[in-house]
Structure 1
């Protein structure tokens, strides 16, 4: 970590990136098999050593642009040095009703005896039945030898989903899929107990209605778009809007319905920002994507305002209006509808802006990258043949903690 880290906070998607949280692929990915990868939300079985090489190159590309890179597991291990945080982590993990009392008591001692680094490994890579076998009761005798008592968390790679910084506060999200529930609990633990973040004010929380960070775009200071679809629910979007209004973090939330299918699981799989007035967007849905502008109801209690919900408008129109722009410019994914569909699937839309007109993207999406460069965007190309097996690009794999403000 740097000696004098920048103050955390972000008010946009494109302000100069200063600090980011990543998760380097590890043993949790080595736990994926053809029998469990669907349940654990991976489309394929990655070649882990190659994924690590690709991720290391991604992290180095950020460092080369003076971005401080924090690693999630290092933060977690440092957090678990705190007695209270450690107890919360163990208790939360052992709350799984499938364990049974005998196995739960054994695992309590097993986890209590672990060092912070060992405990971090158990919590992220999981614990298999055969790793604790030896007469520990009915559960261990009846479960398959390779069944997981504590599931691995392969989706930790996608640090964007479990938290979002909105100005100087961090929103702890609530992940919809059971396979990812513990991710946001661990993230909340870090922000609550790690000395670097313990003084930060938090909003939302893992126990609230479902909101995932991939559905949240900070379009401009005070203007936030929230996708509602497979992962973020309407109730989650409403909760998010109320909290950012209550705390003065935003004036407008654009709620954007998106198709509930795997290829478009989050808003950032079809649209990301690459400049203050430019987005890269999947053209096959661009003209059907709509947005409901949500604002505090005039005259209601400022401490707990009612919500005014406008009639839906085309997304680009509603966004430009809320951002006070004449036009929010669209850069299409791909070069034609067929290429666009392929490159959208390969995360061509899922770019990470490091500054206005500077973005990281997967190198394989040639058509999209060419369009970005034609529009004046400098593209930092990274390899992603293995990183992309979980269906996520550079934005999904990064949680910006500090950006220079735009406003």
Structure 2
């Protein structure tokens, strides 16, 4: 394993990327929070306090914490990266030539930290000075010309490391599509990744079929489960599978259909790994969750084209059975949370199953999910509890808020 990379969900976590909520969260209002995918308007200062405590919890366990906006600011010190960021941000057809040209010039003159602020917190029409034209005249004064990105909080979604490569994902919702453009910029242009030995190799890309990081679970070295539902499409899974098999990064991918609902938007809202052979799972779907095992016996890592080899798709099987077969273990143990259906639904909505493993049998979880956390501890899992009353308003738990950059590989 290189300095950056991961081959599982539970190897000891060494480096993680977070995003501390900032001005972009303060841009949420009752009029735009639904469009920007939040279930409410969070108390920003409390959300920051909760996130700071989360980051400190990780540091206290020896994890290096990288902050996305700091990495972006350092990336934007380089002229080519600045130009790419500005060009992609202003590519929307709603701006018109006059306003786009004005904003391009204005943003080009901003120092890196200020530019980061505009790219993440957005630009309102009444904040434009000197760019008057037809578009600015006709739009309401409080209309966003560049939308804020409050979902940057959930760094898991815009990239996922698969062994020593990083998959830049393609986010399905219009409110989130710019996130992966910024993430890709960091991985390709920040000195930490650009100058790593051999460089940082990427997979997929924001322009590809939809795959979101919250749907991707590294069950074991060589075994990847991908949820297919509200955010990740079947075509996205196929594209990622071809690239992963072509690069020799896995031998099996499990395509897991999930309900296309807000409460189960990603596979990691339903289940997360907490040990090499243990998983916590929403009990209301545990018996019905299915998986299609995808393999590519003819894939050639030395070949030049990932689109020519044949993918084999097995008949669907119960998820836990298919996963155990692929992982080559007797049983993938589901931790029985033993919750009645109503309590299970409540704690699943509050991200009770969205835990972040920082080592085998050690997981971070929201403190409010009393029943789920108690059952985890009964199963021998150390649960590190964090507050998340405000952080959870965008529907995401500790796993959603963290992108592992480096984990220790699991023993062979």
Asked if TM exceeds 0.5, the reply is yes
1:94 Cα shift?
1.2
| Residue 325 of structure 2, aligned match among 302, 321, 339 | 321
The aligned counterpart of 1:94 is 90
The 1:332/1:391 distance shift into structure 2, 3 A limit, reads farther
The 1:235/1:135 distance shift into structure 2, 3 A limit, reads closer
Cα distance in 2, alignment partners of residues 137 and 300 from structure 1: 54
1:26 Cα shift?
0.2
The aligned counterpart of 1:12 is 8
Q: Per-residue displacement from partner, 1:214-267 (whole Å, max 9, x unpaired)? A: 000000000000000000000000001100000000000000000000000000
The aligned counterpart of 2:59 is 63
The 1:51/1:299 distance shift into structure 2, 3 A limit, reads closer
Counterpart of 2:192 in 1: which secondary structure?
A: coil
- Count of aligned pairs: 401
1:135 Cα shift?
6.3
Counterpart of 2:45 in 1: which secondary structure?
A: helix
Counterpart of 2:335 in 1: which secondary structure?
A: strand
The aligned counterpart of 1:205 is 205
Kindly indicate whether the alpha-carbon contact (under 8 Å) linking 2:99 and 2:131 is maintained by their aligned counterparts in 1. no
Counterpart of 2:334 in 1: which secondary structure?
A: strand
1:332 Cα shift?
3.7
What is the correspondence of 1:88-237 to structure 2 with a 5 Å cutoff? 88-133=84-129, 136-198=132-194, 199-237=199-237
Kindly indicate whether the alpha-carbon contact (under 8 Å) linking 1:277 and 1:327 is maintained by their aligned counterparts in 2. yes
Give the CA RMSD over aligned residues: 1.1
The 1:405/1:130 distance shift into structure 2, 3 A limit, reads same
Residue 331 (structure 1) aligned with residue 335 (structure 2): yes
The 1:334/1:117 distance shift into structure 2, 3 A limit, reads farther
Q: Per-residue displacement from partner, 1:21-48 (whole Å, max 9, x unpaired)? A: 0000000000000000011000000000
TM-score computed with the length of structure 2 as normaliser = 0.96
Q: Per-residue displacement from partner, 1:111-145 (whole Å, max 9, x unpaired)? A: 01100000000000000000015561111111111
Cα distance in 1, alignment partners of residues 18 and 147 from structure 2: 21
1:157 Cα shift?
0.1
The aligned counterpart of 2:238 is 238
Counterpart of 1:372 in 2: which secondary structure?
A: helix
Q: Per-residue displacement from partner, 1:141-172 (whole Å, max 9, x unpaired)? A: 11111000000000000000000000000000
1:335 Cα shift?
2.5
Kindly indicate whether the alpha-carbon contact (under 8 Å) linking 1:334 and 1:366 is maintained by their aligned counterparts in 2. no
Cα distance in 2, alignment partners of residues 389 and 398 from structure 1: 16
Structure 2 unaligned spans of 5+ = none
Structure 1 unaligned spans of 5+ = 1-5
Structure 1 runs (4+) deviating above 2 angstroms are: 298-305, 332-335
